[in-house]
Amino acid sequence: MSVTRRQLLWATAGIGTAGALAACGSGSGRSDSEPAPAGSTSEQPRSGGTLKIGALGRASAVTRDPHGSQANESDYLIISLLYDTLAVPGDTANTVPRLAASWQPSPDLKTWRFTIADGAKFHDGTPVTAADVVWSLKRLRATPAGASRLPGIQPSGISAEGARTVVLVSDYANADLPLLTRLTTFVLKKDTKDDAVATASGSGPFKLDWFRDGNARLVRNDDWYGGKVLLDAVEVRIFESPQALANALLAGQIDVASNVGATAARTAGARKDVQVVRRPNDLAMPIVMRAAGGPFADPRVRQALRLAVDREAMVKQVLSGYGTVANDVLGTGDPAYARDLPQRTRDLVRARQLLGAAGFDLARSYDLVTTEDIPGLAESATLFATQVRETGVRINVVKQDSKLFWDASWLKAPLYASYWGTNDSVVFFASKTMVSEAGQNEAGWRDPAFDAAYRKALATADAAERAKVLHQLQEIEYDRSGYLLWGMADGIDLAAAPVRGLPRLPGYGRVQLEKTWLAR
């Protein structure tokens, strides 16, 4: 089952959210992960042991460049254990400090100063300096996708101020700029040659022992500035298929199967010796209805489809129940997410009324384009088509090859099923996919009131005021965007009984293993 995980990672570069400011400058609130469910919380974390962890990846796509395009989860896992980013995703806040201990904005929210953590040094013993960070950020910015990884930041806007401070200047006021520094801003030593990147020193919690064809062994960095690392070593194994990954865990060959899916969780459900780790709000699989033209341009038609879907059934059948019902607003993991909006439920009568009022042509059938990049996506489209037939709308599911889908249908087709493997914020999705000028405006949606709310949110420093604006923004999105978001899939890891302290964060928060330990 060569499921491609292409492009899950790109979505990690983003614009921030409310709540990030609260974490600024505090230096506290490391992304401590909760213990895995089966582990009793009274246990004292203990040091030692080797954790064998399996992650998905394709042998043909293995990359070792932290700033390259990473298609493999296994590569990303290895890289993020070896190298540090300025900030990482957190539990209570969207962004918590890592290599940058703290950050401060200028009053106009355009210039941000990041201070490097005390005692941060590379594996070869040399301290991490602002010059290293600036060089790494510029290298990241110079990659083909650099402009979308660090949006609004020009190469000239990255500079050092002394040995410990890095200055980032944004083209526009951005209250959530630190969010951009999570996940992709890996720091290497200044002037590392491209052909030496594979063996370059990092500053992360683990050091490289060996690497071969996507598999690696990493050993503890006793000198890590971020605190005591518990595991002696981590062995990462690359798996082509989620099925093989789950089987390896069930047969006891690995300790953790990372991001392995709901079916594996149910299979393991009967096993006492396997823990199922659920990470909520991990993956969005919205159905995109083109607002810019075509049969779904009328907001009433889009509303009708949102009322025609049976969300509970979708979560139950497509996700095997491993997920939550959603409310057509993206960014469900965000502390600023509007939980008070009324939950939209199925209303076939109203849906038919709306379709009639809009004069929707029920005589023809409509293509819903999808791809099999991730498990469940094609199935969700299939079930959706079956459900909306009850309103008289005939939908024909067209499953495309991944490449064709991204080239020809994404951003273009009148109706398609997309996905976002990120726990990113309300503002992130607004900036990337909904504001009029967004390069990846998936539905071609243009709404002046929404644009205004978005701009106001980015330029507002006061947290309470911002929360209010963000709520308005979500109300508009809830009312008339091009999205139908029926649910959010849980991220699911399987772990052997002795594994403790696995990360519980959605998306790429799952790779932080420095607090993980083994009770054996």
Partner 1 sequence: MSLVRFVWPAVRRLALLTVLLATVFAAVSLLPGDAATATSERGESATDLAARRAALGLDRPLAERFWDWLAGLPTGDLGTSAHGRPVTALLAAPFPNTLLLGGLALLLSVTGALALGSWAALRPGGRVDRAVATAATAAFALPEFVVSVALLLVLSLWTGWLPAVTLTGPDGAPASWRMLVLPLLALTIPQIGWNTRIVRGALADQASLPHVQAAILDGLPRHRVLTHHVLPGALPAIAVGTATSAGMLLGGAVVVETLFNYPGIGAVLAGAVADRDTPLVAGVVAATGAAISTLLLAADLIRDRTLGVRA
Partner 2 sequence: MTVRKLVRTVPALLLVLLALAGPLLAPHAVDQPVTAPYATPDAVATLGGDQLGRDLLSRLLSGGAPLIATALGIALLVTTAAAALGILAALRPRLGRWLERAADLAILLPAVLGIMLVALAWPGGGRLAVAAAATVLGIPYAVRIVAAAAAPVAATGYVETAAAGGERLWYLMVREVLPNLRATLLALFGLRFVEGVYIVSIAAFLQLGPQPPAADWALMIRENAPGILLNPWAVAAPSLAIGLLAISVNLAVEGIAARPTPESAL
Interface with partner 2 (CB under 8 A):
1-2, 242-243, 246, 261, 263-264, 266-267, 313, 316-318, 320, 372, 375, 378-379, 382-383, 385-386, 397-401, 404
Q: How far apart are CA 333 and CA 21, in angstroms?
A: 17
Report in angstroms how near the CB of residue 205 gets to partner 1 at its nearest.
Answer: 21
**Are 75 and 277 within 8 A, CB to CB?**
no
CA 168 to chain centre: 23
Q: Which of 344, 364, 363 is nearest to 304 (CA)?
A: 344
Is residue 192 classed as helix, strand or coil in its secondary structure?
Answer: coil
**Residue 63 touches which of partner 2, partner 1, none (Cβ within 5-8 Å per kind):** partner 1
Report in angstroms how near the CB of residue 320 gets to partner 2 at its nearest.
Answer: 5
**Residue 318 touches which of partner 1, partner 2, none (Cβ within 5-8 Å per kind):** partner 2
Report in angstroms how near the CB of residue 404 gets to partner 2 at its nearest.
Answer: 5
**Residue 240 touches which of partner 2, partner 1, none (Cβ within 5-8 Å per kind):** partner 1
**Residue 213 touches which of partner 1, partner 2, none (Cβ within 5-8 Å per kind):** partner 1
Which residue, 105 or 261, has its beta carbon nearer to partner 2? 261
Which residue, 148 or 386, has its beta carbon nearer to partner 1? 148
The token pair at 379 is: 């199935």
Report in angstroms how near the CB of residue 405 gets to partner 2 at its nearest.
Answer: 9
Task: Write out the H or E segment, with its range, that includes residue 105.
Answer: strand 100-105
Q: Where does this chain bind partner 1 (CB under 8 A)?
A: 1-2, 4, 7, 9-11, 58-63, 68-69, 71, 144-145, 147-148, 210, 212-213, 215, 217, 237, 239-241, 243-245, 247-248, 250-254, 402-404, 406-407, 410, 439-440
The neighbour count for residue 104, using CB atoms within 10 Å, is 12
**Residue 386 touches which of partner 2, partner 1, none (Cβ within 5-8 Å per kind):** partner 2
CA 210 to chain centre: 28
Tokens 């649910």 correspond to 487
Report in angstroms how near the CB of residue 514 gets to partner 2 at its nearest.
Answer: 31
**Residue 498 touches which of partner 2, partner 1, none (Cβ within 5-8 Å per kind):** none
**Strand ranges across the sheet with 287-289:** 394-400, 365-371, 415-417, 287-289, 483-484
Helices (H) and strands (E) in the chain, counts: 14, 21
**Residue 325 touches which of partner 2, partner 1, none (Cβ within 5-8 Å per kind):** none
Report in angstroms how near the CB of residue 57 gets to partner 1 at its nearest.
Answer: 9
Q: Which residues are bridge partners to 161 per DSSP?
A: 165
Report in angstroms how near the CB of residue 243 gets to partner 2 at its nearest.
Answer: 5
Q: How far apart are CA 402 and CA 371, in angstroms?
A: 6
Is residue 510 classed as helix, strand or coil in its secondary structure?
Answer: helix
**Are 353 and 323 within 8 A, CB to CB?**
no
Q: How far apart are CA 81 and CA 74, in angstroms?
A: 11
Please say whether the dihedral angle defined by the alpha carbons of residues 407, 410, 416 and 422, taken in this order, is positive or negative.
positive
Report in angstroms how near the CB of residue 152 gets to partner 2 at its nearest.
Answer: 36
Q: Which of 341, 343, 346, 318 is nearest to 489 (CA)?
A: 318
**Are 371 and 331 within 8 A, CB to CB?**
no
Report in angstroms how near the CB of residue 39 gets to partner 1 at its nearest.
Answer: 25
**Residue 353 touches which of partner 1, partner 2, none (Cβ within 5-8 Å per kind):** none
Which residue, 318 or 354, has its beta carbon nearer to partner 2? 318
**Alpha helices (H) in 273-324, listed in sequence order:** 299-308, 311-318
Q: Which of 230, 251, 188, 287 is nearest to 500 (CA)?
A: 230
Which residue, 129 or 382, has its beta carbon nearer to partner 2? 382
**Residue 242 touches which of partner 2, partner 1, none (Cβ within 5-8 Å per kind):** partner 2
Which residue, 1 or 363, has its beta carbon nearer to partner 2? 1
Which residue, 154 or 241, has its beta carbon nearer to partner 2? 241
Which residue, 81 or 489, has its beta carbon nearer to partner 2? 489
